[in-house]
Amino acid sequence: MRGSIAGAGRGAAPYPAGVTSRHLLSTFTGGLPRPFWVMWWGTVVNRLCGFVVPFLTLFLTARRDLTPVQAAVVVSALGLGSFLSQLIGGALADRVGRRRVMVLALTLSPPFLIVLGLAPTYPLILVAAFVFALISDMYRPASSAAIADLVPPAERTRAYGLMHWAVNLGFAFAPILAGLIAARSYTLLFAVDALTLLLYGVFILLGVPETGRPGGHRGPRPGTLAVLGREPMLLAFSALTLLFALIMRQAYVTLPLAMRADGLGEDTYGAVIALNGLVIAAVGLFSARVLAPLVAPRVLSAALLLAGLGFGLGALADTPAVYALGVVVWTLGEVAQAAVAPGLAAALAPAHLRGLYAGVLGATRGLGALIAPALGGWVLEQYGNGLWWGCLGLGLLGSLGFLLLNGPLQRRVHQGASADSTHA
């Protein structure tokens, strides 16, 4: 049964007056199955040593003598591979099993990461980057589907929120470790990253059972286009998610350029953008519990509004303090969206298509990552602060869109839950 998108906890008893910190921590982290925590710790370790992507442009220009444009094309190749990987990985997770796809993705991709680090020519670097992303990112929709299989609907917001927290906990320290290792050897940087991918695969192999039912669904399985064609709610959900992604990707593309134009250097940008990780680390553990009782489309509406407002502040910003305020505002939107959106996709999906639905959501974000750099850069160059007003407009439009979809989405989820109960 898919359950309600409103989450659980409505009407829950307040915490006892004498509750200890240990009991309070258990309230936010307890009750989730052991395989989930295996995936959680695997994510922390993997992200803690996820060195290559943040340092890839520097490596390619400093050690492979590529031009900035060539390095950007390599990063785009990673993005294209990731976009396709989401769709392929999601479909495969439904057909052959979540665990099998995760293990294959995490164990087959490291050699291509090593090739990327050792490739002597530009064409080989491009191919290695694309293939690495194409294989490695297949684990993402499979992982999301596995969480939906393992965790009851009422706890999914908390589970997905904790996974987003794990990603950012690891990523918060990864650049520091990467800088220390890169100072000694870029080869070692690639090797350690590849090793942690293999380690994550071992975590999955030993600690996570197969949660899907490959072959358990009789009849043909529809492709992505067929699903989108017959599932207008998923299509509308994806379109609004794309708006969110287009806004959020400006943080790493046009925001540093705008700050430089205001006379603020790279060190200031680094300090300001570091607030993103600090806010997530501070609120990530508790936010999922707070968000769980709320209605998902309304939370996503608020997330888009916060994203639009946060980046919209860029139109008024010319000091570090105002830019920092914007980062805090849109980070709160990011936390809310990351905790709620995967659970809504899982709630919309029939059990045998959870991987595909997760893949569509992931591909939508990937499409935003592909479009946002060029689009944002062009708008900033042509219209200056018009970019930030545009982000505000997209945020308001997306927020209104989720409010309008609130009723239809809830009815669609409840209809699906009834259908699952009938066929259970």
- pLDDT on residue 22: 55
pLDDT (0 to 100) of residue 217:
53
The structure tokens listed for 131 are 């293939």
Identity of residue 30 = G
pLDDT at res. 133 = 93
Residue 6: the pLDDT is 45
Judge whether 277 and 172 are in contact, CB under 8 Å: yes
- Site of tokens 């990063």: 75
C-alpha pair distances (Å), 34 with each of 7, 30, 105, 203, 312 = 21, 10, 22, 12, 42
SS3 31: coil
Half-sphere exposure (Cβ direction) of 286: Cα atoms closer than 13 Å: 7
CATH topology of 33-214 equal to that of 223-424? Answer: yes
pLDDT, position 260: 86
Q: List the CATH code of the domain at 33-214.
A: 1.20.1250.20
Backbone angles phi, psi at 319, to 5 degrees: -130, 155
Is 3.40.50.620 the CATH number for 223-424? no
Q: Is 60 exposed, middle or buried (0-12, 13-18, 19+ CB in 10 A)?
A: buried
What are the extents of the domains in the chain?
Answer: 33-214, 223-424
**Residue ranges for the chain with pLDDT beneath 70:** 1-30, 54, 214-225, 228-229, 416-424
- Helix intervals (H) in 10-136: 21-29, 34-48, 52-62, 68-96, 98-108, 110-118, 122-136
Q: At what angle do helices 68-96 and 139-150 cross, to 10 degrees?
A: 40
Give 3-state DSSP helix, strand, coil % of the chain, rounded to 5.
80, 0, 20
**The pLDDT value given to residue 12:** 41
Can you tell me the distance from the alpha carbon of 415 to that of 315, in angstroms, rounded to the nearest whole number?
A: 43
